[in-house]
DNA sequence: AAAGCCACCAACCGCCAGGGG
DNA sequence: GCCCCTGGCGGTTGGTGGCTT
């Protein structure tokens, strides 16, 4: 298969984006969306390849992106997730609303790798309510945070179902990673939180 | 003040998987 | 079943700015 010519050979621009290009890309996406990245630059009048436009949008221009430094909590969260998921940056990013895989990858290589190498343990992990999914719905992580902070009597029923999930999860010998990819996230987080010592052993059913 | 070094991060590259024809 | 296109992912690079000597 013949590889498509690279952007430069096609006379397309590479390198840093100018504010004007950003403006064109944002207003085009706001008006028409981004169904076809390959066609988008031509339609928008940008001398960029589709891939470059997609990257610029997903890593920088998207309105739901959280700019600024990572909090200590976020860093610890990344370390913990990295221990479980490895270099699956997009999977890690999916658990950190407003953060991109590229950003997480960068912070890992510049800060966190060193911390882990030095044998530093992450602080106690307890994601707060601000950690909602990018679509605005609460993640199982948030849900879990709410549960563990509730009065145990109130949450007993819920805990029972969680426990049952976790047991079935264990009896089927499903790994954490498989659990996440299968959407069995409650069980996944249940185990993580129990292992991290943030919650007590759940009451026996 | 200048040169060298280092850290950071935006952007690129190459590969892969999935879907459509 | 095969080919091609597209989007997504992870690894890597290169420019820039700040700090040190």
Per-residue pLDDT tens digits for A90-113 = 989 988 888 999 999 999 998 888
Kindly state the tokens that stand for A184. Answer: 């069995």
Instruction: Give buried/exposed letters for A123-148 (b at 16+ CB in 10 A, else e).
Output: eebbbeeebbebeeeebbbbbbbebb
- Nucleic strand B interface residues, CB < 7 Å: A 6-8, 13-17, 51-52, 55-56, 59-60, 69, 102-103, 105-107, 109-111
Query: What are the residues whose beta carbons fall under 8 Å from the beta carbon of A115, sequence distance 6 or more?
Result: A75, A79
Mean pLDDT of A131-151: 41
Domains annotated for chain A, with CATH where assigned, are 19-61 (1.10.10), 72-117 (1.10.10.60), 124-205 (no CATH)
Report the protein residue whose CA lies nearest the C1' of nucleotide C8: A90
Answer yes or no: is pLDDT of A174 > 60. no
pLDDT score for A150? 41
Chain C footprint bases within 7 A of protein beta carbons: 3-12, 15-16
pTM (predicted TM-score): 0.66
**pLDDT tens digits for A116-135?**
877 665 544 444 333 433 33
Report the protein residue whose CA lies nearest the C1' of nucleotide C14: A15
Answer yes or no: is pLDDT of A67 > 90. no
pLDDT score for A117? 73
Confidence of residue A11 (pLDDT cuts 50, 70, 90): confident
């Amino acid at each position: 298969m013949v590889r498509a010519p690279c952007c430069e050979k096609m006379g397309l621009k590479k390198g840093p984006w100018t504010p004007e290009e950003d403006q064109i890309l944002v207003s085009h996406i706001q008006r028409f969306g981004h169904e076809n990245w390959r066609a988008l630059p031509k339609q928008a009048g940008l001398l960029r390849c589709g891939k470059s436009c997609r990257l610029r949008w997903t890593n920088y221009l998207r309105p739901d992106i959280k700019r600024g430094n990572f909090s200590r909590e976020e860093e610890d969260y990344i370390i913990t997730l990295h221990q479980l998921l490895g270099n699956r940056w997009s999977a890690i990013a999916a658990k950190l609303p407003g953060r991109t895989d590229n950003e997480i990858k960068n912070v890992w290589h510049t800060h966190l790798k060193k911390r882990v190498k030095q044998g530093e343990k992450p602080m106690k992990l307890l994601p707060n309510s601000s950690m909602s999914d990018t679509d605005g719905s609460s993640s199982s992580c948030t849900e879990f945070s709410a549960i563990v902070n509730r009065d145990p009597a109130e949450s007993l029923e819920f805990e029972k179902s969680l426990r049952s999930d976790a047991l079935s999860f264990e009896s089927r010998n499903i790994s954490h990673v498989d659990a996440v990819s299968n959407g069995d996230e409650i069980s996944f987080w249940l185990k993580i939180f129990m292992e991290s010592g943030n919650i007590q052993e759940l009451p026996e059913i």
